Amino acid sequence: MANTKSRQVRALGLCSGGLDSMLSALVLRNQGIDVEWISFETPFFSSVNARLASRTTGVPLTVENITPAYLEMLKNPRCGYGKHMNPCMDCHALMFRLAGSVMQEKDFDFLFSGEVLGQRPMSQTMQSLRYVEKQSGFDGYILRPLSAKHLPETIPEKKGMVNRELLLDISGRSRKPQMKLAEAFGIKDYPSPAGGCLLTDKEFSKRLKDIFDHQKTYTEAELHLLRYGRHFRLDENTKIIVGRTQMDNENIIKYHNPAEDTVIKVKKYPGPVVLIPHGGKKELMMLAASICAGYSKAPDLIPVDVGTATPHGHEIIKITGIPPKDVQRFLI
Ligand code: SF4
């Protein structure tokens, strides 16, 4: 959007870190355009792959946490969800809207992404790509270099900032054209195209829906906790998280809030960390302690010592474990 007569054309790309992101930037860089990337983070997806892609290609990267704006969209996406809690169309529209603000602030000329027409059945049809452009507020300024020849000419192409002839006409689900191009650019390491977004995960989506249904507000840490352990809903106001592995236990401790949460752990025997986010009534804390004992290596049918830590202090209670099979009805 800037006066480009006196300087190199500058483009800002959305980067997921996948091969298509890398290729889209390199195709533009090859025709002399100064490319940079932006990548967005939330508790549902990270910028790990984007950082790797930036290291591989040398394309400068800015990372921004967009959790508050993302949550607002995620609770009520205009186009609804995909198979799980993934609002792909509105997710893309939001990302382009935010990237568009950065484009204006930092004097880039246009936006680009590695999207390929027809690669994903829902979010990359001609209609979805158009929806995203319109909703983003930057209609005409979003270039998809890999599929450009199948798409309407964008403003930077019309203005002569980009040579359309040097753009590509890739479409569909085959990855062969991208792999060939990767070879030509000498790119050997890139992550597999699928995965990386927890909103497309069935189990994670159930937990996210549960928290949306039962809490008006939640912290970013609570959303990170949805990734770890087994989650049980004990009543409308109380849920517990039971670590399955050492890594779960460590992350439950890392993301818990000592000012509000209750942490439960069996004494003397190996077992899970159990968390009650925001604490719970006495009888539910007892139930959580028996679930904790039931999932531990403590002997069955014998009362064992279980430690509880609440914001008000530590306590040890003696309790018999409930076998895991008897608590499956609480599982989220
Ligand atoms: S998979 Fe996740 S990150 Fe990707 S568009 Fe869909 S919601 Fe957004």
Which pair of tokens denotes residue 324?
């895991």
Q: Is residue 199 within 6 Å of ligand 1 at its C-beta?
A: yes
Mean pLDDT of 82-102: 97
Q: Tell me, what's the pLDDT at 252?
A: 98
For residue 4, pLDDT over 80 is answered with no
pLDDT band, residue 6 (cuts 50/70/90): confident
Q: Is residue 195 pLDDT above 90, yes or no?
A: no
Token reading at 180: 């060939």
**For ligand 1, what atom is nearest to the CA of residue 200?**
1
For 258, other C-beta atoms within 10 Å of its C-beta total 11
**pLDDT of 19 above 70:** yes
Distance 82 CA to ligand 1 centre (A): 9
DSSP element (H, E) containing 95: helix 88-105
**DSSP string for residues in 105-167:** HTT-SEEE----BTSSTTTTSHHHHHHHHHHHT-TT-EE-TTTGGGSPPPHHHHTTSS-GGGS
Whether residue 64 has pLDDT greater than 60 = yes
Per-residue pLDDT band at 191 (split at 50, 70, 90): confident
Report the C-alpha gap between 29 and 151 in whole angstroms.
20
- Between 6-10, 149-153, 258-262, 284-288, the lowest mean confidence (pLDDT) is in 6-10
Distance 211 CA to ligand 1 centre (A): 20
Q: Looking at residues 97-117, what average pLDDT do you find? A: 97
Torsion sign across C-alpha atoms 70, 73, 78, 80:
positive
In this model, does residue 210 exceed pLDDT 90?
Answer: yes
- CA 58-60-63 angle, to 5 degrees, is 130
Closest residue by CA, ligand 1 atom 5: 88
Name the pTM for this structure. Answer: 0.92
